Amino acid sequence: MKPIVLFGGTFDPVHIAHLRVALEAAEILDAHVRLMPANTPPHRPAPVANAAQRTAMLERAIAGQERLSVDARELKRAGPSYTIDTLIELREESPHGQSIALLLGDDAFAGLPTWHRWRELFELAHVVVMTRPGHGGELPRELADEVERRRGGVGAVEGAAAGHVVPIAVTPLEISASYVRGILAAGRDARWLVPDVLIEDEGMLAVYRGVGV
């Protein structure tokens, strides 16, 4: 069985850095990556675009790409989007021994100890950390201890159901959703920051025009 690989975020809006690192992770892990938009992320303000708009943007952005898909399950749950709940749900619906991996950028990974029931995540999934040259710093001691115990290579993702921390190097594209929202809010052209199919979508552009970041 190929691993189930999850890449969560608000995707508000989805931009080319999201898509590029997801595709590279899919290639490195030889797996299919599910882009999973969060409903109400616990650690950041509510998204500008609503659930239906963000799902539609993601689906349009990856149309025709066989290695990526959209999993909108978190948008169907009320309240904050806790990753632990998603992983428990996936475990319940997946075959015994199925490998599940959670993709995180190095900055998000450094903040893992602030997540709800964060230690339990390792019992349910691998954590694949997407590293970029020049990024990443000292980890909190409790997280560094987990990395020391759980560090593995790419093969660990397919070789076990959960429990490893696996670093992979991805292309460093310095683009953030807040920066893209600022460009769009100012009425400027966001071409080559977001997929062309979204630039041509007047409905998507209207969501962000004149809205603060």
Residue 198 belongs to a domain? no
Distance CA 16, CA 154 (A): 24
Q: Are 187 and 209 in contact (CB under 8 A)?
A: yes
Instruction: Examine residue 115 and state whether it is found in any structural domain, yes or no.
Output: yes
Cross-strand bridge partners of residue 70: 35
Q: What is the separation of C-alpha 204 from the centre of its chain, rounded to a whole number of angstroms?
A: 20
- Tens-place pLDDT, residues 26-73: 999 999 999 999 987 777 788 999 999 999 999 999 999 999 999 999
Identify whether 204 is part of a domain: no
- Is 9 exposed, middle or buried, given 0-12, 13-18 or 19+ CB atoms closer than 10 A? buried
Looking at every residue in the chain, the average pLDDT score rounds to 93
- Whether residue 203 is predicted with pLDDT greater than 90 in this model: the reply is no
Structural domain boundaries enclosing 13? 4-173
Contact by Cβ (8 Å): 185, 210 = yes
Give the CATH number of the domain where residue 87 resides.
3.40.50.620
**How confident is residue 132, by pLDDT bands cut at 50, 70 and 90?**
confident
Judge whether 8 and 54 are in contact, CB under 8 Å: no
Residue 206, in any domain of the structure: no
Report yes or no on 74 lying in a domain. yes
Indicate the number of domains in the chain. 1
In a domain, 119, yes or no: yes
